[in-house]
């Protein structure tokens, strides 16, 4: 049974978080993610949860740090400039091995930039965003249904691997309305014996901390964390492959870019070009396996992005630059059209002939 | 022989790293004694700052969290909101932490009357980083980054946290104490105990500012440093209750009335 409701992407994230057992949300107003805060402000008081409008994104992410230390599921959301402010806090979460979910509804940058959709925080998200050696799990929904589904997955992965997870959305996916089903099976969160919930006189104190003044110890902790990252890279890659089995021109893009690229791929096929699409769903870990697989037939990759070309670097790494990778992009809040992508596919098809 | 001076249970048997004569140790002890006396160790979570007391998480026997520089009140807010009825949450912060980089978090936790306890160590210096000018350094005070003495024309005036927060309607209890004599230590303990009791009673935000010394970076013997508190700090930072809403000491209410 899966009754569908018509919802905005941002609202689907909020409802899914509540379904996942998140009862604590901290945010600060910024376009284009405000619907998440508004939804939480309405719902949380009714279900005994906390909605708190913090004094800044810095405060919000540190409130998240507090709830995460205490072992409860917690979320914050923002858009690009606000995510920059959260950078230190996200680094602390990673350095303390704490689970939390962060939503970035990206807007154009740098600086104050604009309020229209963008994907130009790809580097920030997939490389960690703050200081130090670390990663966070990055999930990229491209439909309202996925906004909900990946939010639940973000909570589960964060808890499983003890690290922050980010929903990397954008203005478009947040604002668009589509039917969505919330018929999810929610797993019980794992036990958190490390949480700072009071010793109750029964155990030695728990400490949530990222400070290690002994360099040998800090090195060891970093190595252990990266060993965990290797497991995640092995087990958690997710991508959608569309018409890639025989594709010579492989278009690739995430989120909103993938929806546009898919239209262009259909049109290219109609015109007799062997085009296909790879849509990464996990941006970290980057799904390099499907790119390697596509190399069997691919003569060219085209990375479609709402940025000056960020994911393209990971595509080149995944394919070890064995075939050329070109970029098809718009920035500043502008969105590539299917026609623009189709043009790029036709150009590539001509070149590989 | 009767033991008259024992380590409080809420302090672990770990040697402090603090310099000889540093008042951080005294205040740790007072907080631990209060936790013992109120019987709350098992349900207390402390938040350590970035500053000389960063390693407070190793010293207190209750659960501990190490916060980013200045963000302890926000972290405390998260913990308290997660377990409003089950946990007692305190922060322990220096002046750079609480009154400079973390001013916004301090002010807004107070404005929300967040039900937490804040222990504020005002030693008029950035101790941990080696003695730079703090938001609370006195006019004329020589530090590493005010080598000719703090010139208010160039770097402004010290921030008086209790006075400033007392203008807010939010907070429950604000008191400034010091620990440079036995009598003052006793008063400080009374204030700290009340700040925890307020939280137990659900009264809200309590902040105790402890005028403290940093003999190392003040370039003084511990004894001279305690005297310097009397001669220089207290005239600028008068001791006393700045707000106690339940007891009717409320600047805000007076203004309204
Ligand atoms: C974001 C950030 N900025 C700066 C520092 C460096 N830092 C460490 S401790 C400190 C000052 C602490 O002074 P205070 O809060 O007065 O505590 P005290 O050492 O005097 O007890 C600074 C600036 C840091 N760790 N993080
Ligand atoms: S530097 Fe100052 S504040 Fe820090 S431990 Fe030494 S005396 Fe105390
Ligand atoms: Mg200080």
User: Which atom, in ligand 2's list, is nearest to the CA of B94?
Assistant: 3
Neighbours of B36 (CB within 10 A): 15
Tokens representing residue A324 in the block: 């050329």
CA distances from A245 to A16, A38, A81, A241 (A): 34, 44, 40, 9
Q: Tell me whether residues A198 and B104 touch, CB distance under 8 A.
A: no
The per-residue pLDDT for B257 is: 43
Ligand 2 pocket, B146 CB below 6 A? no
| Ligand lying nearest the CA atom of residue B218 | 2
Asked if the model's pLDDT at residue A100 lies above 80, the reply is yes
Out of B61, B77, B107, the one facing A66 most closely (by C-beta) is B77
Q: Which residues of chain A have a CB within 8 Å of the CB of B102?
A: none
The per-residue pLDDT for B251 is: 75
Helix (H, G, I), strand (E, B) or coil at B199: helix
Tokens representing residue A249 in the block: 């021109």
Residues in chain B: 257
Cβ neighbours of residue B98 closer than 8 Å, sequence gap 6 or more: B49, B70, B72, B73, B106, B118, B120, B161
- CA B198 and chain centroid, separation: 16
Residue B254 — pLDDT band, cuts 50, 70, 90?
A: low
Task: Give ipTM to 2 decimals.
Answer: 0.97
Q: Which residues of chain B have a CB within 8 Å of the CB of A92?
A: 68
Helix (H, G, I), strand (E, B) or coil at B192: helix
Tokens representing residue A147 in the block: 């906004």
Out of B43, B47, B75, the one facing A198 most closely (by C-beta) is B43
Q: Which residue of A has its CA nearest to B62?
A: A205
**Rounded to an integer, what distance in angstroms lies between the CA atom of residue A91 and that of residue A88?**
5
- Among residues A341, A307, A260, which one has the least CA distance to residue A125? A307
**Rounded to an integer, what distance in angstroms lies between the CA atom of residue B95 and that of residue A158?**
35
Out of B62, B65, B107, the one facing A208 most closely (by C-beta) is B65
Where does A5-199+222-235 sit in CATH, by number?
Answer: 3.40.50.970
Atom 7 (ligand 2) nearest CA: B214
Q: Tell me whether residues A196 and B108 touch, CB distance under 8 A.
A: no
Region B10-17 average pLDDT: 96
Task: Give A59 to chain B, closest Cα distance, Å.
Answer: 5
In chain B, the domains with their CATH numbers are 24-250 (3.40.50.970)
CA distances from A56 to A200, B75, B207 (A): 33, 13, 21
Task: Give B99 to chain A, closest Cα distance, Å.
Answer: 15
Interface of A with B (CB under 8 A): 24, 26, 50, 52, 54-56, 58-60, 62-72, 74, 88-89, 92, 96, 196-202, 205-211
Q: Tell me whether residues B71 and A64 touch, CB distance under 8 A.
A: no
Q: Which residues of chain B have a CB within 8 Å of the CB of A207?
A: 57-58, 63-66
Q: Which residues pair with A181 in a beta bridge?
A: A4
Domain covering A239-352 assigned CATH 3.40.50.920 in the classification: yes
Asked if the model's pLDDT at residue B104 lies above 90, the reply is yes
User: pLDDT over 70 for what percent of chain B?
Assistant: 96
A180-190 pLDDT per residue, tens: 999 999 999 99
Asked if A101 contacts A154 with a C-beta cutoff of 8 angstroms, the reply is yes
Question: Which spans in A162-214 are helix H?
Answer: 171-175
Q: Tell me whether residues B71 and A56 touch, CB distance under 8 A.
A: no
Left (φ > 0), alpha (ψ -120 to 50) or beta: where does A288 sit? alpha
The per-residue pLDDT for A353 is: 81
Asked if the model's pLDDT at residue A1 lies above 50, the reply is no
Q: Mean pLDDT score of chain B, rounded to an integer?
A: 96
**Rounded to an integer, what distance in angstroms lies between the CA atom of residue B59 and that of residue B47?**
12
Which residue among B130, B131, B217 is best mutated to probe the pocket of ligand 2, counting the most ligand atoms within 8 A of its Cβ?
B217
B32-78 pLDDT per residue, tens: 999 999 999 999 999 999 999 999 999 999 999 999 999 999 999 99
Out of A68, A201, A207, the one facing B42 most closely (by C-beta) is A201
A5-199+222-235 and A239-352, same CATH topology = yes
Cβ neighbours of residue B85 closer than 8 Å, sequence gap 6 or more: none
**Rounded to an integer, what distance in angstroms lies between the CA atom of residue A279 and that of residue A262?**
9
**Rounded to an integer, what distance in angstroms lies between the CA atom of residue B142 and that of residue B127?**
14
The per-residue pLDDT for B6 is: 87
Atom 26 (ligand 1) nearest CA: B69
**Rounded to an integer, what distance in angstroms lies between the CA atom of residue A151 and that of residue A140?**
10
Domain boundaries, chain A: 5-199+222-235, 239-352
């Amino acid at each position: 049974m899966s009754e569908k409701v018509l919802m905005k992407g941002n609202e689907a994230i909020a409802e899914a978080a509540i379904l996942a057992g998140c009862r604590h949300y901290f945010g600060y107003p910024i376009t284009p993610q405000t619907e998440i805060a508004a939804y939480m402000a309405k719902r949380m008081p009714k279900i005994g949860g906390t909605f708190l409008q913090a004094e800044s994104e810095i405060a919000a992410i540190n409130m998240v740090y507090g709830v995460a230390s205490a072992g409860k599921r917690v979320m914050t959301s923002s858009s690009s400039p606000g995510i920059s402010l959260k950078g230190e806090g996200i680094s602390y979460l990673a350095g303390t091995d704490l689970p939390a979910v962060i939503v970035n509804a990206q807007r154009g940058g740098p600086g104050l930039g604009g309020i229209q959709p963008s994907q130009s925080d790809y580097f920030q998200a997939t490389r960690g965003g703050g200081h130090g050696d670390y990663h966070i799990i990055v999930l990229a929904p491209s439909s309202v249904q996925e906004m909900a589904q990946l939010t639940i997955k973000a909570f589960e992965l964060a808890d499983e691997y003890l690290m922050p997870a980010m929903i990397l959305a954008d203005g478009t996916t947040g604002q668009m309305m589509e039917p969505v089903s919330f018929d999810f099976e929610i797993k019980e969160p794992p036990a958190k014996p490390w949480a700072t919930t009071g010793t109750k006189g029964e155990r030695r104190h728990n400490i949530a901390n990222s400070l290690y003044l002994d360099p040998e110890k800090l090195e060891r902790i970093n190595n252990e964390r990266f060993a965990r990252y290797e497991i995640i890279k092995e087990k958690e890659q997710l991508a959608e492959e569309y018409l890639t089995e025989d594709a010579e021109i492989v278009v690739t893009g995430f989120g909103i870019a993938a929806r546009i690229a898919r239209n262009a791929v259909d049109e290219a096929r109609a015109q007799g070009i062997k085009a296909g699409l790879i849509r990464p769903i996990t941006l970290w870990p980057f799904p390099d396996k499907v790119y390697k697989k596509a190399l069997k037939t691919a003569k060219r990759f085209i990375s479609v992005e709402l940025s000056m070309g960020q994911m393209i670097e990971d595509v080149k790494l995944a394919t070890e630059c064995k075939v050329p990778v070109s970029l098809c992009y718009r920035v500043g809040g502008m969105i590539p059209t299917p026609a623009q992508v189709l043009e790029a596919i036709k150009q590539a098809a001509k070149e590989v002939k | 022989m009767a033991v008259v001076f024992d380590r409080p249970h809420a302090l672990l048997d770990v040697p402090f790293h603090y310099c000889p004569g540093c008042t951080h140790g005294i205040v740790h002890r007072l907080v631990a004694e209060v936790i013992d006396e109120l019987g709350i160790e098992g349900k207390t979570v402390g938040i350590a700052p970035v500053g000389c007391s960063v390693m407070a998480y190793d010293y207190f026997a209750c659960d501990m969290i190490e916060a980013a520089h200045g963000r302890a009140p926000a972290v405390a807010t998260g913990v308290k909101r997660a377990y409003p009825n089950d946990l007692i949450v305190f922060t322990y912060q220096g002046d750079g932490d609480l009154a400079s980089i973390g001013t916004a978090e301090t002010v807004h936790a107070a404005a929300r009357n967040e039900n937490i306890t804040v222990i504020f160590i005002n030693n008029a210096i950035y101790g941990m980083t080696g003695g730079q000018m703090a938001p609370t350094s006195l006019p004329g005070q020589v530090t590493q980054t005010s080598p000719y003495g703090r010139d208010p024309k160039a770097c402004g005036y010290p921030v008086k946290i209790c006075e400033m927060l007392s203008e807010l309607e939010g907070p429950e209890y604000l008191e400034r104490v010091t620990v440079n004599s036995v009598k003052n230590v006793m008063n400080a303990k009374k204030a700290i105990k009340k700040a925890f009791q307020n939280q137990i009673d659900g009264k809200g935000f309590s902040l105790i500012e402890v005028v403290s010394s940093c003999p190392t970076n003040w370039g003084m013997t511990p004894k001279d440093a305690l005297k310097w508190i009397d001669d220089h700090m207290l005239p600028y930072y008068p001791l006393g209750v700045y707000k106690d809403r339940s007891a009717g000491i409320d600047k805000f209410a007076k203004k309204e009335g």
